[in-house]
Structure 1
Amino acid sequence: MSPLTLYHNPRCSKSRQALQLLEERGCDFHVRRYLDAPLSREELEALAARLDGDVADLVRTQESDWKALQLATPSADDYLAALAAHPRLMQRPLLDRGDRAVIGRPPENILALIDAS
Protein backbone atom coordinates (compact mmCIF):
# COMPACT_ATOMS: atom_id res chain seq x y z
CA MET A 1 0.00 0.00 0.00
CA SER A 2 1.25 3.49 -0.82
CA PRO A 3 1.80 5.88 2.08
CA LEU A 4 -1.41 7.58 3.15
CA THR A 5 -1.84 11.14 4.36
CA LEU A 6 -4.98 12.25 6.13
CA TYR A 7 -5.55 15.99 5.90
CA HIS A 8 -7.24 16.43 9.23
CA ASN A 9 -9.04 19.06 11.28
CA PRO A 10 -9.58 17.67 14.77
CA ARG A 11 -12.47 20.09 15.36
CA CYS A 12 -14.45 18.48 12.51
CA SER A 13 -16.60 15.47 13.40
CA LYS A 14 -16.28 13.98 9.89
CA SER A 15 -12.52 14.30 10.08
CA ARG A 16 -12.47 12.57 13.46
CA GLN A 17 -14.64 9.78 12.02
CA ALA A 18 -12.23 9.31 9.12
CA LEU A 19 -9.29 9.14 11.55
CA GLN A 20 -11.13 6.50 13.56
CA LEU A 21 -11.87 4.45 10.41
CA LEU A 22 -8.19 4.46 9.45
CA GLU A 23 -7.14 3.47 12.96
CA GLU A 24 -9.74 0.67 13.12
CA ARG A 25 -8.46 -0.69 9.80
CA GLY A 26 -4.90 -0.66 11.12
CA CYS A 27 -3.73 1.56 8.27
CA ASP A 28 -0.28 3.08 8.23
CA PHE A 29 -0.90 6.77 7.68
CA HIS A 30 0.39 10.21 8.46
CA VAL A 31 -1.87 12.95 9.84
CA ARG A 32 -1.36 16.44 8.52
CA ARG A 33 -3.25 19.05 10.46
CA TYR A 34 -3.53 21.39 7.51
CA LEU A 35 -4.64 24.36 9.61
CA ASP A 36 -1.40 24.12 11.61
CA ALA A 37 0.74 23.27 8.56
CA PRO A 38 -1.03 24.79 5.54
CA LEU A 39 -0.39 23.41 2.08
CA SER A 40 1.62 25.49 -0.35
CA ARG A 41 0.15 26.53 -3.66
CA GLU A 42 2.24 23.81 -5.35
CA GLU A 43 1.03 21.15 -2.91
CA LEU A 44 -2.57 22.22 -3.50
CA GLU A 45 -2.15 21.98 -7.27
CA ALA A 46 -0.69 18.49 -6.98
CA LEU A 47 -3.40 17.40 -4.57
CA ALA A 48 -6.13 18.75 -6.87
CA ALA A 49 -4.63 16.80 -9.76
CA ARG A 50 -4.91 13.55 -7.75
CA LEU A 51 -8.46 14.22 -6.66
CA ASP A 52 -11.39 12.55 -8.37
CA GLY A 53 -13.30 15.58 -9.59
CA ASP A 54 -12.58 19.24 -10.04
CA VAL A 55 -10.46 21.65 -8.00
CA ALA A 56 -13.71 23.36 -7.00
CA ASP A 57 -14.57 20.20 -5.03
CA LEU A 58 -11.72 21.01 -2.64
CA VAL A 59 -13.32 24.28 -1.55
CA ARG A 60 -15.90 24.79 1.17
CA THR A 61 -17.88 27.43 -0.71
CA GLN A 62 -20.40 28.01 2.08
CA GLU A 63 -17.73 29.48 4.37
CA SER A 64 -17.70 33.23 5.00
CA ASP A 65 -14.07 33.49 3.84
CA TRP A 66 -15.12 32.19 0.42
CA LYS A 67 -18.20 34.39 0.18
CA ALA A 68 -16.10 37.44 1.08
CA LEU A 69 -14.02 36.88 -2.05
CA GLN A 70 -17.13 37.58 -4.18
CA LEU A 71 -15.94 35.59 -7.19
CA ALA A 72 -18.75 35.38 -9.75
CA THR A 73 -17.18 32.69 -11.95
CA PRO A 74 -14.03 31.45 -10.22
CA SER A 75 -11.30 29.81 -12.24
CA ALA A 76 -9.12 26.91 -11.09
CA ASP A 77 -6.48 29.50 -10.28
CA ASP A 78 -8.98 31.41 -8.10
CA TYR A 79 -9.83 28.27 -6.15
CA LEU A 80 -6.17 27.43 -5.57
CA ALA A 81 -5.33 31.00 -4.53
CA ALA A 82 -8.24 31.00 -2.09
CA LEU A 83 -7.14 27.69 -0.57
CA ALA A 84 -3.56 28.89 -0.22
CA ALA A 85 -4.68 32.12 1.46
CA HIS A 86 -7.44 30.56 3.58
CA PRO A 87 -6.59 26.96 4.56
CA ARG A 88 -9.84 26.54 6.47
CA LEU A 89 -11.64 26.57 3.12
CA MET A 90 -10.26 23.13 2.25
CA GLN A 91 -12.72 20.26 2.35
CA ARG A 92 -12.12 17.80 5.12
CA PRO A 93 -11.29 15.13 5.74
CA LEU A 94 -9.18 14.31 2.74
CA LEU A 95 -7.15 11.14 2.25
CA ASP A 96 -4.22 11.15 -0.16
CA ARG A 97 -2.51 7.98 -1.35
CA GLY A 98 0.12 9.77 -3.43
CA ASP A 99 -1.42 8.79 -6.74
CA ARG A 100 -5.07 9.42 -5.90
CA ALA A 101 -6.97 11.43 -3.30
CA VAL A 102 -10.56 11.43 -2.04
CA ILE A 103 -12.69 13.75 0.05
CA GLY A 104 -14.06 11.89 3.05
CA ARG A 105 -17.60 13.23 2.95
CA PRO A 106 -19.02 10.94 4.05
CA PRO A 107 -16.02 9.50 5.91
CA GLU A 108 -16.70 6.08 4.41
CA ASN A 109 -15.46 7.46 1.05
CA ILE A 110 -11.93 6.93 2.32
CA LEU A 111 -12.57 3.19 2.52
CA ALA A 112 -12.79 2.98 -1.26
CA LEU A 113 -9.30 4.45 -1.54
CA ILE A 114 -7.93 2.11 1.12
CA ASP A 115 -9.57 -0.95 -0.40
CA ALA A 116 -8.24 -0.02 -3.87
CA SER A 117 -4.65 0.01 -2.59
Structure 2
Amino acid sequence: MILYGLKNCDTCRKALKALSNAEFVDVSMTSVPDGILDRAISQFGDKVVNTKSATWRGLDETERGKDPKALLIAHPKLMKRPLISEGDALYLGWDKDTQAALLG
Protein backbone atom coordinates (compact mmCIF):
# COMPACT_ATOMS: atom_id res chain seq x y z
CA MET A 1 0.00 0.00 0.00
CA ILE A 2 1.34 3.42 -0.95
CA LEU A 3 0.03 6.69 0.45
CA TYR A 4 0.76 9.79 -1.65
CA GLY A 5 0.50 13.03 0.28
CA LEU A 6 2.38 15.77 2.09
CA LYS A 7 4.37 15.20 5.27
CA ASN A 8 2.88 18.30 6.94
CA CYS A 9 -0.75 17.46 6.04
CA ASP A 10 -2.81 16.58 9.12
CA THR A 11 -5.12 14.29 7.14
CA CYS A 12 -2.16 12.40 5.67
CA ARG A 13 -0.65 11.99 9.15
CA LYS A 14 -3.95 10.57 10.46
CA ALA A 15 -4.13 8.13 7.56
CA LEU A 16 -0.49 7.06 8.03
CA LYS A 17 -1.04 6.49 11.72
CA ALA A 18 -4.04 4.25 11.00
CA LEU A 19 -2.35 2.46 8.07
CA SER A 20 0.85 1.31 9.73
CA ASN A 21 1.75 -0.89 6.75
CA ALA A 22 1.56 1.97 4.22
CA GLU A 23 4.61 3.32 2.44
CA PHE A 24 4.54 7.14 2.39
CA VAL A 25 5.51 9.20 -0.67
CA ASP A 26 5.73 12.97 -0.20
CA VAL A 27 4.45 14.45 -3.47
CA SER A 28 6.38 17.68 -2.90
CA MET A 29 9.61 15.63 -3.18
CA THR A 30 8.65 12.71 -5.46
CA SER A 31 6.11 12.86 -8.27
CA VAL A 32 3.13 10.53 -8.35
CA PRO A 33 3.94 7.96 -11.08
CA ASP A 34 2.24 8.72 -14.40
CA GLY A 35 0.29 5.46 -14.37
CA ILE A 36 -1.14 6.13 -10.90
CA LEU A 37 -1.90 9.75 -11.76
CA ASP A 38 -3.68 8.74 -14.98
CA ARG A 39 -5.75 6.13 -13.12
CA ALA A 40 -6.63 8.62 -10.37
CA ILE A 41 -7.80 11.21 -12.89
CA SER A 42 -9.74 8.56 -14.78
CA GLN A 43 -11.41 7.32 -11.58
CA PHE A 44 -11.93 10.59 -9.67
CA GLY A 45 -11.96 13.22 -12.43
CA ASP A 46 -11.56 16.83 -11.32
CA LYS A 47 -11.94 15.79 -7.66
CA VAL A 48 -8.27 14.87 -7.68
CA VAL A 49 -7.49 18.62 -7.70
CA ASN A 50 -7.96 20.34 -4.34
CA THR A 51 -9.68 23.61 -5.27
CA LYS A 52 -9.85 24.67 -1.60
CA SER A 53 -6.09 24.85 -1.15
CA ALA A 54 -3.94 27.94 -0.76
CA THR A 55 -2.02 26.82 -3.85
CA TRP A 56 -5.24 26.87 -5.91
CA ARG A 57 -6.16 30.34 -4.66
CA GLY A 58 -2.73 31.56 -5.76
CA LEU A 59 -3.20 30.44 -9.37
CA ASP A 60 -4.41 32.75 -12.12
CA GLU A 61 -7.33 31.83 -14.37
CA THR A 62 -5.02 30.57 -17.12
CA GLU A 63 -3.39 28.08 -14.76
CA ARG A 64 -6.73 27.01 -13.28
CA GLY A 65 -8.00 26.24 -16.78
CA LYS A 66 -5.37 23.58 -17.42
CA ASP A 67 -6.32 19.91 -17.39
CA PRO A 68 -5.92 18.12 -14.02
CA LYS A 69 -2.80 16.15 -15.01
CA ALA A 70 -0.94 19.26 -16.19
CA LEU A 71 -1.95 21.09 -13.01
CA LEU A 72 -0.77 18.27 -10.74
CA ILE A 73 2.52 17.89 -12.58
CA ALA A 74 3.20 21.64 -12.32
CA HIS A 75 1.81 21.98 -8.78
CA PRO A 76 1.91 18.63 -6.91
CA LYS A 77 0.57 20.23 -3.71
CA LEU A 78 -2.76 20.76 -5.52
CA MET A 79 -3.56 17.05 -5.24
CA LYS A 80 -6.42 16.12 -2.94
CA ARG A 81 -4.84 14.14 -0.15
CA PRO A 82 -4.16 11.44 0.55
CA LEU A 83 -4.18 9.37 -2.62
CA ILE A 84 -3.84 5.75 -1.54
CA SER A 85 -2.90 2.92 -3.89
CA GLU A 86 -3.52 -0.63 -2.72
CA GLY A 87 -3.03 -3.20 -5.44
CA ASP A 88 -5.40 -2.25 -8.26
CA ALA A 89 -7.58 -0.03 -6.03
CA LEU A 90 -7.22 3.72 -5.54
CA TYR A 91 -8.72 5.79 -2.74
CA LEU A 92 -8.86 9.59 -2.57
CA GLY A 93 -9.14 11.40 0.74
CA TRP A 94 -9.52 9.98 4.23
CA ASP A 95 -13.28 9.87 4.66
CA LYS A 96 -15.38 7.20 6.38
CA ASP A 97 -15.76 5.17 3.18
CA THR A 98 -12.00 5.02 2.63
CA GLN A 99 -11.40 4.16 6.27
CA ALA A 100 -14.00 1.38 6.16
CA ALA A 101 -12.50 -0.07 2.98
CA LEU A 102 -8.94 -0.05 4.27
CA LEU A 103 -9.39 -0.71 7.98
CA GLY A 104 -12.60 -2.66 8.26
Same fold, TM-score > 0.5, yes or no: yes
Structure 1: stretches of 5+ with no match in the other structure: none
1:89 and 2:89 matched: no
CA RMSD of aligned residues (A): 2.5
Aligned residue runs from structure 1 range 1-117, under 5 A: 4-23=1-20, 28-49=21-42, 51=43, 54-67=44-57, 68-70=59-61, 74=65, 78-106=67-95, 108-115=96-103
| Inter-partner Cα distance in structure 1 for 2:31 and 2:102 | 24
Corresponding residue pairs, total = 102
Q: Which has the larger radius of gyration?
A: 1
Tell me how far 1:99 sits from its aligned partner.
Answer: 1.5
| Inter-partner Cα distance in structure 1 for 2:10 and 2:27 | 15
How has the CA–CA distance of structure 1 residues 88 and 110 changed in structure 2, closer, same or farther, with 3 Å as cutoff? same
Tell me how far 1:64 sits from its aligned partner.
Answer: 4.5
Tell me how far 1:103 sits from its aligned partner.
Answer: 1.8
Tell me how far 1:85 sits from its aligned partner.
Answer: 0.7
| Inter-partner Cα distance in structure 2 for 1:93 and 1:109 | 13
Structure 2: stretches of 5+ with no match in the other structure: none
What secondary structure sits across from 2:67 in the alignment? Answer: helix
| Inter-partner Cα distance in structure 2 for 1:57 and 1:103 | 9
> Is the contact between residue 44 and residue 80 of structure 1 (CA under 8 Å) also seen in structure 2?
yes
Normalising by structure 2, we get a TM-score of 0.77
The sequence identity of aligned pairs, in percent, is 25
Normalising by structure 1, we get a TM-score of 0.70
